[in-house]
Structure 1
Amino acid sequence: MGALFSAPEYNNMTDSIKTNEQLALKLKQTENLLRESEDRWRNFLSYNMAGIWRFEYSKPMPLSLPFDQQIQWMMDKGVLIEANSAALELHGFSTADDLVGKTYREIYSYDENVGFEMLRAWIKQGYRFDGYEHRSLTNSGEYRWFLVFCHPVIENDHIIGSWGSEFDITDRKLAEEALRESEKRYRTLFNSANDAILIVKDRQFIECNQKTLEMFECRREQIIGQTPYYFSPTRQPDGRDSTEKALDKFATVLDGRPHVFEWRHLRLNGEAFDAEVSLSSIEIESETVIQAIVRDISSRKKLDKELQLLKRWVEHSIDLFFWVREDSRLLYVNQAVCRSLGYTKQELRSMRVSDFDMGLPAEAWSEFTQRLREQGSHCFETRLRKKKWSDYTCRNYGKYPGI
């Protein structure tokens, strides 16, 4: 019986079989690698905390389309093909079937303007999101904020799909909003305060409120960048150099000890005024600065001076001055009372009016004070008894202070 194949044919067939076996082995190895790669990808999607998703277009979109037509194309032909469990959870869905297969328009059916706005921004940014903040309504009916990253898949000047990832940043956005509200409240209090409030950094004013501008009679640009001693005379009332004294105050405060003191300031026009200054150190953006609260006490100082002069005049007047409580006990008498009645101030402060005023016995005091309340003042004659039991007649003027 003759051979079925010649030797060369047999050798060629054997080589072909070996080649096919090698190809089959490589194919098997490639399939295994692809399966392993797909498993790794699936594991990556499943265990990734970021929401990861993929859209495909039912018909590739030409990049040459007009802007508005591109948005409509994406809304109608952009279909969610894949989403990991994190993406489903972020948007309030329990299974992929609840979301996968829906178009952009279906996903944003609760408010298409939200979808339009996001796609409009995506196109304007070159079909890329590298940290786009987006507010979306979840399936649970709750609005959440997301940080979105999205890149297109482009072939032959057509977009065929896109890949994206997103993170829930709602807590961060709420914290930022709370911070903005806090800053707004602080700014309102800052600018509505009746005292000048200034922030000092590196010995210069870096911030001030509206009251500061009114107090120093200047514009904002005329005080920001200046030193506190620029608005001070060369020397303070105690004779110390203003610059030297101010630096000592700053050192005390930066050492952690708040400080309240009186200071002589100058308005921009050179007019001097007295102020009460409260210094404290505070933290702003991780930097220690000095907060100065300045209160103009010129009127108070002037009033104090006038009161001191009035008190001195009353004390040394030749007329008798009494300050009497409603229970008729004496609060204050001047020197003329002591000379006239022969009592010391200490003795008089333990007495009642009826003890020395013969015209105002104890039983008449209530009626007398009632008349003063009604009339405001009352002029009358009375007889005062001296310590040694002599008496004399005098004309009194009583006034009810209303306090």
Structure 2
Amino acid sequence: MKNLTERDKKYIWHPLTQHKLNSDMLGIVKAKGAILYDENGGEYIDGIASWYTSMYGHCNEYILEKVQHQMAVLDQVVFSGFTHEPAIRLSEELINILPSNQQKIFFSDNGSTATEVGIKMALQYHYNRGNKRKVLLAFEEGFHGDTFGAMSVSGLSVYNGPFEDYFIKVERILTPTKENVGDILLQLTERLSQNDIAGFIYEPLVQGAAAMKMHDAEGLNMILELLNKHQVLLIADEVMTGFGKTGKNFASDHLPVKPDIICLSKALTAGLMPMGVTSCTQQVYDAFYSTDIAKGLFHGHTYTANPLACVAALAGIELLQSEQIQKDIRRVIKSHQEFGLKIKGHPKVAEIRQCGIIFALDLNIKMERYGRLRDRLFNFFMTHGVFLRPLGNTIYILAPYTITASQLKRVYDIIELALDSEV
């Protein structure tokens, strides 16, 4: 029998992969805590929590127990015309931890659909109120997913180049710094006079796919405040930042001005099941509440509010609020701070930055996003038992909260070894 890597090649088309350049996919057979195990007996510390999902560790026994129990009771049911206890409880728990202006929960399947729903809410909100606004505002270098609306508001052409002629209308602004926020506000003030911008979608504080680019919280809040005055709906894409990664439950908790709409996925279900959520204010919901059926939000997915995914999310929220996980978050934040102080003067480090448990360093080497250095770094880390996915010349860590001190030290040590070597 061929191994998984060889069998994979026959039929599977992988995401974000040019198969003519990268044909071998590593077969993973087991995961536990912060460790991935391959079919050859290799072990790897999961330094990015498998795309920021498994924040409480892989195969967390508490979450597994809850989902296993639910599987024997109710596995799946249509969510149009029916409801169920796990979805109701999850909506209650989410409203308890989301910013206080959030009042309604709309379920979907993943991060892209969560943002897709948010975009549609913003556009139809104004349409339903008799004031068509056809333009969306977004940050430069933002990333919001791979469906068409989500691609439209994303600013990374390496993902979206072939489709740009088909996008909805989007205008972009720079992310704020202390130096440029005044100019951004002046630009926006002039632009807003046209009254045609429906919504502003943004990754609050950290732009994940843009190599963990971090922006000024005070400047962002000033932008949100101005847009709010002009009835532009604020759509916070917290798919990556949500559920504790910035040191608070949500990145929006760091800002006085709260979003009208929030998009969630990834760590929502602790990496166990796919699910997306889009929350909104009562005001947004009320624009769809009508005796006119055409004013409803006609968006739905077969697995909307899947009971198993809801139970996984409930268990994850319970763990997030536990003293142990909060202690782990504080421990990882402090550990990153100490590592940053240690390496910030290294001659190969151009910049370090941190927001909560998200740590990133830029190499002082200019390169293409998918150049050979990125592949050499990735292979170097994997050879030394650490799973990290550099973004261009950026190395970042976004590990499970439950990663042990010794495992985290190993990640740091291998990064330092890479800096000191001729990778």
Shorter-chain TM-score tier:
under 0.3
- TM-score relative to the length of structure 2: 0.19
Quick one: higher RCO (CA 8 Å, sep 6+), 1 or 2? 2
> Larger Cα Rg: Structure 1 or Structure 2?
1
